[in-house]
Amino acid sequence: MKEAQAKLTFWGVRGSTPTVDPATWRYGGNTPCLDFVAPDGTQFIFDCGTGLRMLGSRLQEQAGSFAPETHILVTHYHWDHIQGLPFFSPFYVDRNTFHFYSFQSKFLGRESLKQVFEAQMALPYFPVDLSAMSAKRTFREVAGGESFQVGTTKITARWLNHPQGAMGYRLETPAGIIVYATDNEPGDPELDRSLRDLAEGADVFINDAQFTPEQLAGSRRGWGHSTWQEGVKVAREVGAKRLVLFHHDPDSTDRVVDGLLRQARGEFETVFAATEGMVITLGGKEAADIHIPGSRSSLRREAQFRATVSGTREDGRSFEEETVVRDVSLQGALIPLSNCPRLQSELLVDIETPGAEGVQQKMQLRGYVVRVEPDREKGSAAVGVVFTD
Ligand SMILES: [Zn+2]
Ligand SMILES: [Zn+2]
């Protein structure tokens, strides 16, 4: 019997506004968008931030295998969650159908999401008008606490604490439970409970982690966002298996996000920082497989360097190992190791390089693990790192 598998992909993880600052490149600068393929093949999209454009290109490439019927769950109407809409190419293809879900905003009234659509495409804000979007679209307004079924997936929507309101979504599938709860601020007792009901026993709990605990306690209170510390607290209380820190602040460089993740890992075992391109597979042989494709590290060239690598294994123990690095570039390397380092952990790579007069020199590089591909037969792993300095 084929195992029920579900696949979640992150296309945009940045909050508030997109960033193109090179210092935010590693986690990514696109605003929120995820796609989720349920075990029965039903396609879902969470939010329509700028990450939606890249998802659109990917779906067009695989047009044959792409289900032309897609369910789009929108959390709320702030720009960062809707600004990708006009740039999603599958909207311009007749045979596609999209079912939109969101809530009725008291500022917009009936068919809020339809109005948001029309307003974005209205002249003079966009060069083509709505009639160019030939795909079929339906709009459904959901209420807080409401549950409904799409194929074999049960969806529950719940209110979160955010200016002008936001919905969190819980998707229960035969392969596991995904909870998408971004744009929420702790501190409202009723909505804090609502978040916990939503996240109860989740296999993957994606939570707003825009601010540091100090920022939230200070000037950023009331802006509608949360912290890694709150995420850890909720994950513990509800027995969530994995926590994903999401909605990174546009002013948080990769180094800042590394620091937040490090602190969170000090308190909760399985936490990851959402990264563009990150894929989580549920229901396979492993409890969950998380990886970040290495396609963004280009410019590799074949070379051979002896290296000593030290880092942290998946079980949290540190290791030091000698290896030969063959696949290296200025940005990163693919390193064969017998120790399996933890994804998104730091590695120190001491590379021996031939110096000016053929004298061996050592170069120490700090790397960050973006990919781990275990080779069970050989009992080793190909480890992709991006150099951070
Ligand atoms: Zn947002
Ligand atoms: Zn918002």
Model confidence pLDDT, tens digit, residues 359-378: 678 888 998 998 888 887 88
The CA-to-CA distance between both ends of the chain, in Å, stands at 48
Counting residues of the chain whose pLDDT is more than 90, the rounded percentage is 67
What is the CA(95)–ligand 1 centre distance, in A?
31
- pLDDT of residue 261 exceeding 90: yes
How would residue 67 be classed by pLDDT, with cut points 50, 70 and 90? Answer: low
With beta carbons less than 8 A apart as the criterion, state whether 384 and 334 touch: yes
pLDDT value, residue 119: 87
Average of pLDDT values for 182-191? 97
pLDDT value, residue 124: 84
How would residue 2 be classed by pLDDT, with cut points 50, 70 and 90? Answer: low
- pLDDT of residue 381 exceeding 60: yes
Ligand positioned closest to the Cα atom of 16: 1
Nearest partner of 230 among 203, 264, 190, judged by Cα: 264
What is the CA(191)–ligand 1 centre distance, in A?
17
What is the CA(139)–ligand 2 centre distance, in A?
20
- CA 261 – CA 271 distance, rounded (Å): 7
What is the CA(329)–ligand 2 centre distance, in A?
38
- CA 265 – CA 287 distance, rounded (Å): 19
What is the CA(81)–ligand 1 centre distance, in A?
6
What does the block give as tokens for 381? 């792993």
Residues near ligand 1 ion, CB 5 Å cutoff: 15, 80, 183
pLDDT value, residue 348: 93
CATH 3.60.15.10 residue ranges of the chain are 6-291
How would residue 296 be classed by pLDDT, with cut points 50, 70 and 90? Answer: very low
What is the number of other CB atoms lying within 10 angstroms of the CB of residue 74? Answer: 25
Dihedrals φ, ψ of 227, to 5°?
A: -135, 165
- Domain 6-291 falls in which CATH fold? Metallo-beta-lactamase; Chain A (3.60.15)
CA angle, residues 123, 52, 34, in degrees to nearest 5: 145
Ligand positioned closest to the Cα atom of 12: 1
What is the CA(249)–ligand 2 centre distance, in A?
12
- pLDDT of residue 154 exceeding 80: yes
Ligand positioned closest to the Cα atom of 208: 1
Dihedrals φ, ψ of 233, to 5°?
A: -60, -50
Nearest partner of 46 among 87, 94, 90, 8, judged by Cα: 8
What is the CA(225)–ligand 2 centre distance, in A?
8
Ligand positioned closest to the Cα atom of 46: 1
- pLDDT of residue 319 exceeding 60: yes
In 3-state terms the chain splits into helix, strand, coil percentages (rounded to 5) of: 20, 40, 40
How would residue 104 be classed by pLDDT, with cut points 50, 70 and 90? Answer: very high
What is the CA(105)–ligand 2 centre distance, in A?
13
Amino acid letter for position 257:
V
What is the CA(316)–ligand 1 centre distance, in A?
33
- CA 386 – CA 255 distance, rounded (Å): 13
CATH number (2.40.10.220, 3.40.50.620, 2.40.50.40, 3.40.630.30) of 295-387 reads: 2.40.10.220
What is the CA(134)–ligand 1 centre distance, in A?
28
Helix axes 189-199, 228-238, angle to 10 degrees: 60
CATH 2.40.10.220 residue ranges of the chain are 295-387
- pLDDT of residue 299 exceeding 50: no
* Segments of 241-379 assigned E as strands: 243-246, 271-273, 279-282, 288-291, 301-312, 318-328, 332-337, 346-354, 360-375
What does the block give as tokens for 142? 């959901």
pTM of the model: 0.87
